[in-house]
Amino acid sequence: MTMIQATDAPSPSKVLEGRLRARTATIGIIGLGYVGLPLARTFASQGLRVLGFDIDADKVEALNSGQSYIRHIPAAAIAGMVDAGAFRASTDYSAIRSCDAVLICVPTPLTRHREPDLSYIVSTAEAIQSHLTAGQLIVLESTTYPGTTDEVLRPILELSGMKAGADFFLAFSPEREDPGNQSYETATIPKVVGGDGEALRMACILYDQIVPHTVPVSSCSTAEAVKLTENIFRAVNIALVNELKVVYDRMGIDIWEVIEAAKSKPFGFMPFYPSAGLGGHCIPIDPFYLTWKAREFDLSTRFVELAGEVNAAMPAYVVERLAVGLDQRFRKAVCGSRILVVGLAYKKNVDDMRESPAFKVIELLERRGAVVEYHDPLIPEIRPTREHAAMTGRKSVAWSPEILAGFDAAMIVTDHDCIDWQELVDNSRLVVDTRNATKAVRRNRQWIIKA
């Protein structure tokens, strides 16, 4: 009788590694916004099959029809992915079972009390847990405080009866998207990856398929701290130049001229620029994730909190500069004045209005009795937001010399390249420039106030 010796089945990590290296793996991406959709596009471009998940049925339908709702991702790119069978979007989370790796790219906003709101991570974890399969790699990409992956995500996933590190792999890799940046995109930015043992190795193999190189760190908490550090660095330095702006303005010095000259130094200086306030989903929010977590260790992050206070005060500062300008030049109050806010997006050349300081500017002006409208060629209508729901549906006014002349003042909040700043100045009684957008304007500079 011939005995057949049983051979050991390959380990889950070997199976996953083989699929990733052979590019036969299916990648699930939960959350198809400004982080998830570029990530899906990048994986699909490298020959991996991508399943995208989102709770917004309209987004899912648009993507499956080859349409894009993000300006810097062309519809042709989406259509090509769909037509090639490399990408499909769905609201049905049961399809997670067929994924080899699942990447979580959901929002992490703040509550009204400026505390972390992890509800999207929790609900996503619960959805994954119901369909978790042995051998899967789960990676959180959403920006959050150190400890979230291990303290919040892991326990929910382990309610499935499976254990991280034994039955499935769990890692954290912070997103590094910069919408509108022409120099860098997902495929050209190194990826920080944190995790334990095989989870870290699997996550590095995954991202090595799409980025120049991965940067492994010792734990998920370390990787979470890396992301916060990157964004706090920007928030603190922006607060510094915002404060210097106020001081130098009182001295009659142009902060923009100062920065332009200072950045000629080839070492020891990095230029940051003032504004009407912080915007975007990261810089205004992420520092508060660390300040909240630090309280658990009986620590106060005074430096970070002070930066937050300085930046949060900027909308009120620029509104006051406009009020002074109206009073000094026309003996006119803000109350009853018609004000045009130019630019609603949080940064130039993007259609992303998340956390834009323009909302606070509009709110403060209207609270003082002004009649406010906005113009933004990239945001024709205000979409629903959690903080400013009452502004939903407002439409961008048309651009013409006659329309511009009908306002008492214009305030530049976003310096889109597609706007004719000379035409704005030529046809406005007063222009408050918070972005140095009018630096190249030659005529009628007497109507410009830097703020």
Q: Is position 401 within any domain? A: yes
Q: Is 200 in the same domain as 257? A: no
> How far is residue 203's CA from residue 68's CA, in Å, rounded to a whole number?
28
> How far is residue 408's CA from residue 337's CA, in Å, rounded to a whole number?
6
Q: Is position 235 within any domain? A: no
The b/e string for 57-84 (b: 16+ C-beta within 10 A; e otherwise) is eebbebbeebebbbebbeeebbbbbbee
Q: Is position 306 within any domain? A: yes
> How far is residue 228's CA from residue 235's CA, in Å, rounded to a whole number?
10
Per cent of the chain over pLDDT 70 is: 98
State which amino acid sits at residue 128: I
Q: Is position 230 within any domain? A: no
Section 168-190 average pLDDT: 91
Q: Is 184 in the same domain as 260? A: no
Q: Is 337 in the same domain as 420? A: yes
CB 141 within 8 A of CB 223: no
pLDDT one-digit tens code per residue, 280-292? 878 888 899 999 9
Write down the mean pLDDT value for the chain: 94
Q: Which domain holds residue 313?
A: 245-450
Q: With the C-alpha atoms ordered 301, 303, 306, 311, is the resulting torsion angle positive or negative?
A: negative
In the listed set 218, 236, 264, which residue is the last one of a domain according to the structure?
218
* Tokens coding 390: 């009452």
| Predicted pLDDT of residue 7 | 54
* Tokens coding 81: 């992915």
Does the pLDDT at position 5 exceed 80?
no
Active-site residue identified among 99, 204, 282, 335: 282
CB 401 within 8 A of CB 329: no
CB 309 within 8 A of CB 392: no
In the listed set 199, 218, 237, which residue is the last one of a domain according to the structure?
218
Q: Is position 334 within any domain? A: yes
State which amino acid sits at residue 444: N
Does the pLDDT at position 6 exceed 80?
no
State which amino acid sits at residue 291: T
pLDDT one-digit tens code per residue, 109-157? 998 888 999 999 999 999 999 999 999 999 999 999 999 999 999 999 9
Q: Is 289 in the same domain as 429? A: yes
> How far is residue 27's CA from residue 345's CA, in Å, rounded to a whole number?
31
CB 169 within 8 A of CB 203: yes
| Predicted pLDDT of residue 1 | 42
For 421, the enclosing helix (H) or strand (E) is helix 421-426
Q: Is 62 in the same domain as 127? A: yes
Q: Is 168 in the same domain as 269? A: no
Exposure on the CB side of residue 172, measured as CA atoms within 13 A: 28
pLDDT one-digit tens code per residue, 270-324? 999 999 998 887 888 889 999 999 999 999 999 999 999 999 999 999 999 999 9
**CATH code for position 277:** 3.40.50.720
Q: Is 75 in the same domain as 126? A: yes
Exposure on the CB side of residue 246, measured as CA atoms within 13 A: 16
In the listed set 200, 218, 236, which residue is the last one of a domain according to the structure?
218
Q: Is 389 in the same domain as 261? A: yes
Q: Is 160 in the same domain as 78? A: yes
Q: How many domains does the chain have?
A: 2
Q: Is 251 in the same domain as 213? A: no
* Tokens coding 139: 């990676």
- Comparing 8-12, 83-87, 307-311, which segment has the lowest mean pLDDT? 8-12
Q: Is 303 in the same domain as 393? A: yes
| Neighbouring C-beta atoms of residue 24, cutoff 10 Å | 12
* Tokens coding 398: 């048309």
- Does pTM surpass 0.75? yes
Q: Is 181 in the same domain as 133? A: yes
To the query of whether residue 282 is one of the catalytic residues in this protein, the response is yes
